[in-house]
Amino acid sequence: MATMITTPPASQDQKPEFRAPRYRRPLGVGRDQLTMGGVLAVLAILVLAPVVPTLWQSVVDRPLYEDGGVLTLEGYRALFTDSGFGEVIRNTLIFASLTTALSIMIAVPMAVVVVRTRLPGGRMVALAMQWPFFISSLILGFGWILMYGPAGFVSTQVEQLFGTVPWNLYSIPGMAVTEAVALAPIAYVFCANALRQSDASLESAAQVCGAGPARILFQVVVPMLRPPVVYSSILIFSMSVETLSVPLLYGQPVNISVFSTFLYKNGLQAVDPDYTVLGAASVVILLVTISLVALQAKLLKDSARFVSVRGKATRPRKLELGWVKWVSVAFIAFYVVFGALIPILGLVFRSFTLIFTPLRNPFDFLTMDNYATVFQFESYRQSIINSLVVAGVGSVLVSALAVMAVMVARRSTFRFGRLVEYLALIPQSVPGIIIGIGFFWAFAFAPFGAGTLLQGTLGALVIAFGLRALPSAFGSVAPSIMQIGAELDNAARVSGADWLMTFFRVLRVLITPAFAGALVLTFVIMLKEYSPAVFLSSADSNILGTTMLELWAQGRTGSVAALATVQIAITAAFVALAGLLMKGKHHA
Amino acid sequence: MPELVVKNLKKQFGDNTVLHDNTFTIKDGEFFTLLGPSGCGKSTTLNCIAGLERPTGGSITVDGTTFVDQERGTFLPPEERNLGMVFQSYALWPHMTIAKNLALPLDIRKVGKARQKELIHDALDKVGLADLSDRYPHQLSGGQQQRVALARALVYSPTMLLLDEPLSNLDAKLREQARAWLKRLQEELGITTVYVTHDQDEALALSDRIAVMSGGRMLQVADPHAVYERPATPEVAAFVGRCNFFQGKVEESSGARHTIRLDANDGVVVVEADLETSPGQGITVAIRPERLEVVPAGAETPGANRLDTEVLTSSYVGSHYEYDVRLGNQVVQVESQRPGLAGRVQLVFEAGSALLYAEKVALSQEERDLLTVS
């Protein structure tokens, strides 16, 4: 340090060699402002495109694409008087409440036991709870019907043994159980994270005061779970309000309608759909989901005050439970094996056999025919390729948009930064099927024939699926970008780079891992997605989900099983490959 | 030549005003320090100069170039201000080598590759790191990173250098050495420098002038000597160095001599200070611990003021002793070379050693508790 300064002060009296760079700003708007404004405009168009036509349609007396529409409230009147919508609301409420309650009942004990007690195979469980990331609820629904449905493998077996089947899958409780199995991991993740973050010394304090393991669990650990339980309850409730898969598969045969299937039935299956009533129903459902998400956002903001996070990570001490732990292990194993493993493996097995019933040995009918069918028929093969194209192109576009949105919302002085963030997160509260209906109307409504250009193409699916995946992409990118110190940007700005150049010259490389992470996440989400497609797909733009639904309706279970297996395989291969690539990059 | 003129600089976040109409001028070649506790507005002021934050009101001009003028609605973005800045975290771009870090601002200014090489070498040479240009930032020690950050801020000969607590991440020993080095470098380059710190020693040692800030206001702008010897307010006296405060009432005042009765023990002291007072007025007497002397009771020591006290605690801190003595119900801190005093002692100080303020000193509840004895 002290050996410094050897150069004489030569440059002192010279005229400065460089001037500050100048950036052109015609009319006071530079390229920075243009980019930020552009991001805002793209997001605003994306979000408003499906919502505004829906609102408009709900108060116009004929389809948007017909001329001479007259303003009317008839749609809302009809909806609440003679469309059976009251029954639908009741069903939805029961279904969503039951699903929420069951999910919490599965998730909370599991989180407590796995995180806070010594449990054999605890890490395995934590890993196993990620399964819904790979498997869509549509596929889970297929698997459950194959196993536990009225003619299912397990049901038949039980009937043979006991003479009767004590459950009925095609009922609201049946739907709720399946949905709860699929959504419980969400509540589990929230509770487990809260438990890991909470201060272990709280428990030590209780122990020093003389409390035993059971008392510590019930008087210290469980009460601390209130915020994550409340938060994940609302999340699960709003997700079950909007879900299509299980209610569609289980409810259709026995005429149980919830919000999403009501829209599905009235929009797609009616001979002459009343678009005004459909619009009114969409608006009502939208109001419900948006208020749920708003409530959830508000609670999350407040709940930050409850979380007892300390700077120093204290390793949670694990409690010894004795015999109770074997009960817990049995409970968890039951959930994983009967909830996920048997239905999924059954579905995969079904794809390799002709007949699937305990009455005949399925191994006698092993075959590759199901796959042959799927790969031989042009339209089935095309739907696999379509899914890959939509997920591939869409994930790149959405991740890029999410990165730009985070940059504008969190890393710029743009005056509408907050608005950009809200716009990127709003689609979270719009049910997939309404996004489908909304874009369907938007394309019919769009000026300059832009709509007809997109209508029924893969482009339409990329846009709709992309909008669905945007909040997840934003949520995955934002924390990674926020971890990069703002002083790095400031240093670049002061030394002469404008906002765009700062992004391209300094931040781009640092953001790459966040971008890759968002890419993997959105690829998987978009590969599983299908609900907006039921309104947007044409014969040429079917994707895995819509094709499976079609085949299922035709009773071609073998082909459905084969396609489902293909989808699971693609997801697993993609995630494995991405994991390998990113790992390699870390070492380099 | 670059002279920075700041007028009525104001910054508000909603209802919260973090800067209150500050006006000051920084002269060419001056080392100007913004000193204050965290949250006093010093970093906000620096960021306004850099252009990283936009003030709510006021103007900043350098040499006739308007950086920002809220009245006229002009704002020059940071990239067009041609300033050099060193950040607390150094903010070296982690994915670029040292040479690349320095090359980026030159690239932006469209400097030819050959000239870039010379300039980068010169700049790194200035900070003594010319041989490390191919390393990555994480391969360097904290002190080296700090010097690279300085080289990066200087390589394009900016009009002004802004330093945001650049030494605070170094460990104590290194910090002192780096301080002396920085001072030499700045004097040699003669570059106008604005320095932000909460460390009073740093501010006193480095600066030509110091602006002491608190609660978004500039309490005093003066050279280090004046800030320490003649603090403008009790707050400045308390923040720069340590200080004992006594509340009292003026008994009599003739010219610069004031006779004051202290509330703490009802004793009478004489203080010389330029302050208009009138008998009966409440007043604050401030004395730094090193201007007080403690002598054993009964010793004959010259001094205008003598107060009878009692030693509460004595601690040895190496270069001197520190005594806490009791004056009535108040604790008084004294620095002394005299070892081993205990029991009854006398507190002695000259009339000219104390400072006089008309305003009352607002102590926090915690400070009051710690400085009160029953």
What count of other Cβ atoms lies within 10 Å of the Cβ of residue B220? 20
Helices B142-154 & A486-494, crossing angle to 10 degrees? 30
Check if the beta carbon of residue A227 is closer than 8 Å to that of residue A194.
Answer: yes
Cβ neighbors of A4 (< 8 A, separation 6 or more) are B126, B127, B128, B181, B184, B185
- b/e per residue A28-37 (b: at least 16 CB within 10 A): eebebeebbe
pLDDT of A4 > 80? The answer is no
Instruction: Point out which residues pair with B346 in neighbouring strands.
Output: B295, B308
Across the interface, whether the CB atoms of A21 and B80 are under 8 A apart is answered yes
- How large is the ipTM? 0.85
In three-state secondary structure terms, A60 is strand
Choose between B138 and A64: higher pLDDT. Answer: B138
- Provide, rounded to the nearest whole percent, the portion of chain A with pLDDT above 70: 92
B262 touches chain A (CB under 8 A): no
DSSP for B16-74? EEEEEEEEEEE-TT-EEEEE-STTSSHHHHHHHHHTSS--SEEEEEETTEEEEETTTTE
**Measured CA angle at B175 (ends B171, B180), to 5 deg:** 165
Choose between A581 and B322: higher pLDDT. Answer: B322
Amino acid at A374: V
pLDDT tens-digit series, residues A463-490:
999 999 999 999 889 888 888 888 999 9
Choose between B130 and A2: higher pLDDT. Answer: B130
Check if the beta carbon of residue A104 is closer than 8 Å to that of residue A229.
Answer: yes
Cβ neighbors of A374 (< 8 A, separation 6 or more) are A380, A381, A384, A559, A562, A563, A566
Q: How confident is the model at residue A132 (pLDDT cuts 50, 70, 90)?
A: confident
pLDDT of B372 > 90? The answer is no
Q: How far is B107 from chain A (nearest CA, A)?
A: 10
- Mean pLDDT, rounded, for A398-402: 96
CA–CA separation, A422 and A470 (whole Å)? 11
pLDDT of A180 > 70? The answer is yes
Q: How far is A256 from chain B (nearest CA, A)?
A: 52
Check if the beta carbon of residue A129 is closer than 8 Å to that of residue A189.
Answer: yes
Suggest the residue from A23, A32, A495, A501 to mutate for an interface test with chain B (most B CBs closer than 10 A).
A495
* pLDDT at B101 (0 to 100): 94
Q: How far is B367 from chain A (nearest CA, A)?
A: 28
CA–CA separation, B17 and B26 (whole Å)? 23
pLDDT of A305 > 90? The answer is no
Across the interface, whether the CB atoms of B152 and A491 are under 8 A apart is answered yes
- Mean pLDDT, rounded, for A422-427: 89
Selecting from A21, A491, A510 the residue whose C-beta is nearest the C-beta of B91 gives A491
Choose between A402 and A584: higher pLDDT. Answer: A402
CA–CA separation, A342 and A144 (whole Å)? 8
* pLDDT at A314 (0 to 100): 53
* B57-62/B4-13 β-pairing: antiparallel
Q: How confident is the model at residue A307 (pLDDT cuts 50, 70, 90)?
A: very low
Helix%, strand%, coil% for chain A, nearest 5:
75, 0, 25
- Mean pLDDT, rounded, for B177-190: 90
- Mean pLDDT, rounded, for A421-436: 89
**Measured CA angle at A517 (ends A511, A519), to 5 deg:** 100
A9 touches chain B (CB under 8 A): yes
pLDDT of A122 > 80? The answer is no
pLDDT tens-digit series, residues B18-63:
999 999 999 999 999 999 998 899 999 999 999 999 999 999 999 8
pLDDT tens-digit series, residues A146-171:
999 888 889 888 888 888 888 899 99
- b/e per residue A408-419 (b: at least 16 CB within 10 A): bbbbbebebbee
pLDDT of A3 > 90? The answer is no
CA–CA separation, A133 and A137 (whole Å)? 10
- List chain A residues with CB under 8 Å of B28: none
A23 touches chain B (CB under 8 A): yes
pLDDT of A313 > 60? The answer is no
pLDDT of B206 > 70? The answer is yes
* pLDDT at B253 (0 to 100): 85
* pLDDT at A16 (0 to 100): 56
- b/e per residue B63-94 (b: at least 16 CB within 10 A): eeeebbbbeeeeebbbbbbbbbbbbbbbbbbe
* pLDDT at A131 (0 to 100): 81
* pLDDT at A308 (0 to 100): 39
* pLDDT at A316 (0 to 100): 59
pLDDT tens-digit series, residues A201-231:
777 787 788 777 778 777 877 787 888 888 8
A70 touches chain B (CB under 8 A): no
Choose between B6 and A109: higher pLDDT. Answer: B6
Across the interface, whether the CB atoms of A501 and B95 are under 8 A apart is answered no
Cβ neighbors of A195 (< 8 A, separation 6 or more) are A111, A112, A115, A116, A221, A224, A225, A316
Selecting from B54, B80, B188 the residue whose C-beta is nearest the C-beta of A9 gives B188
* pLDDT at B1 (0 to 100): 55
Question: Tokens at residue B63, please?
Answer: 């040499």
CA–CA separation, A587 and A35 (whole Å)? 35
Q: How far is A193 from chain B (nearest CA, A)?
A: 30
CA–CA separation, A39 and A23 (whole Å)? 20
What count of other Cβ atoms lies within 10 Å of the Cβ of residue B282? 14
Cβ neighbors of B367 (< 8 A, separation 6 or more) are none
* pLDDT at A540 (0 to 100): 83
pLDDT of A11 > 50? The answer is no
CA–CA separation, B247 and B368 (whole Å)? 13
pLDDT of A44 > 90? The answer is yes
Question: Tokens at residue A47, please?
Answer: 């979000």
CA–CA separation, A205 and A216 (whole Å)? 10
pLDDT of B10 > 50? The answer is yes
pLDDT of A6 > 50? The answer is no
What is the rounded radius of gyration, in angstroms, for the C-alpha atoms of chain A?
Answer: 27
Question: Tokens at residue A99, please?
Answer: 């699903």
Q: How confident is the model at residue A306 (pLDDT cuts 50, 70, 90)?
A: very low
* pLDDT at A216 (0 to 100): 78
Q: How far is A253 from chain B (nearest CA, A)?
A: 58
pLDDT, averaged across chain B: 90
Cβ neighbors of A381 (< 8 A, separation 6 or more) are A374, A375
pLDDT tens-digit series, residues A490-544:
999 999 999 999 999 999 999 998 899 899 999 999 999 999 998 888 878 899 9
Choose between A358 and A237: higher pLDDT. Answer: A237
- Give the count of Cβ contacts less than 8 A between chain A and B: 126
* pLDDT at A96 (0 to 100): 95
Across the interface, whether the CB atoms of B105 and A506 are under 8 A apart is answered no
Selecting from B94, B162, B190 the residue whose C-beta is nearest the C-beta of A9 gives B190
**Measured CA angle at B253 (ends B247, B254), to 5 deg:** 150
Check if the beta carbon of residue A92 is closer than 8 Å to that of residue A172.
Answer: no
8-state DSSP, A426? G
* pLDDT at A302 (0 to 100): 58
Question: Tokens at residue B40, please?
Answer: 């006093």
- Mean pLDDT, rounded, for A321-343: 85
- List chain B residues with CB under 8 Å of A483: none
Q: Is the dihedral of CA B136, B141, B146, B151 positive or negative?
A: negative
* pLDDT at A387 (0 to 100): 95
For the question of whether the overall pTM of this predicted structure is more than 0.90, the answer is no
3-state SS, one letter per residue, for A190-245: HHHHHHHHCCHHHHHHHHHCCCCHHHHHHHHHHHHHHHHHHHHHHHHHHHHHHCCH
pLDDT tens-digit series, residues B330-369:
899 999 998 888 888 988 998 888 999 988 777 777 777 7
Check if the beta carbon of residue B34 is closer than 8 Å to that of residue B194.
Answer: yes
- Mean pLDDT, rounded, for B66-93: 92
- b/e per residue A141-157 (b: at least 16 CB within 10 A): bbbbbbbbbeebbbbbe
* pLDDT at B340 (0 to 100): 84
* pLDDT at B374 (0 to 100): 66
- List chain B residues with CB under 8 Å of A18: 82, 106, 109, 111, 156-157
Suggest the residue from A13, A14, A17, A18 to mutate for an interface test with chain B (most B CBs closer than 10 A).
A18
B178 touches chain A (CB under 8 A): yes
